[in-house]
Structure 1
Amino acid sequence: MIKILDRLLLFFYSIVIAVVAICTVLYATNVLDRSLLIGTEQWLDNAVIAGAIVIILISLRFFYISIRRDRASNHSIDLRNELGEIHISMETIENLALKAASRVRGVKDLKVKIRVTEAGLELVVRTFVDGETSIPGLTEEVQRQVRDHVTEVTGIPVAGVSVFIANIVQTQSFKSRVE
């Protein structure tokens, strides 16, 4: 809900800033009549002041968003044992999954996405295949290799491994030329 509100504020803010910038350029180039910008009514002055305060508050909100640390995103998984704490980066887990999946014959161009859940890690492996190997057998082997390797090396349970076959890699075949 907060992200939707922030997006709406950003949209409103960008529109207001664009209008103010356009008016400033028109005012500076004498295209806009200067008498229009000088308030003769008290309510108009109050409206301009209120608008300026709103813009300042929105600016402060966006400044806060830009400097705060996002606690929702995990850059590492933290474990604790009797000797102390262990921090395993998501990049390490991704590289372990890539290493395990690349051992399976027939897979090419691997990518891995990781999501941390209550049950453990959920990994999505996106790959191209050579088209020569049975896809159900190949994906099952990838799932097993990735799950076993990541669990064995990190000690973190893997809740599931999904495999997405993006396409088939075209292998180059060279025909021998006989004269």
Structure 2
Amino acid sequence: MAKKTTKLTQIGLEKKDSKKLGDKLNELLANYQVFYINSRGFHWNIKGDKFFELHAKFEELYSDSQLKIDEIAERVLTLGFTPLHSYSDYLQVSKVKEVKNVSNDRECVQHIVDGFRQVLNIEREVLEAADEVADEGTSDLMAGYIREQEKQVWMYNSFLQ
């Protein structure tokens, strides 16, 4: 008896569509990992008269990123694929660039805004791809992230003005 193969994932989506989403989510995961480590470094190294305010804000950012990293990886797994899990892969895939030894408040915040822009662009691509294949789980995840981060971009840009 021949082995029956299915074109659907365990959650009922087409495998080829899920592969595209899994790849985009892995790209998002890589960008979040670099954003996370950058914001963690800013938290550790910030100096100046805004130290207390930004030290706390950067901690909020990396803590939130850590949660999102886990959610994104779990979504990749839910779609039936393996999340990226090495820094060499993250650095190769990420559009958010690694930042080293920055302690100036305005420079740190500018890197945060730039990182959010990269992440938001990818999230919008994931949202569009998820909507095209009726993947409500991924769509809902991305819509929440986008709404939250657009507000963060506005707030951090307000700091820079």
Q: TM-score, normalization: structure 2?
A: 0.29
Q: TM-score, normalization: structure 1?
A: 0.27
Which structure shows the bigger proportion of residues in helix conformation?
Answer: 2
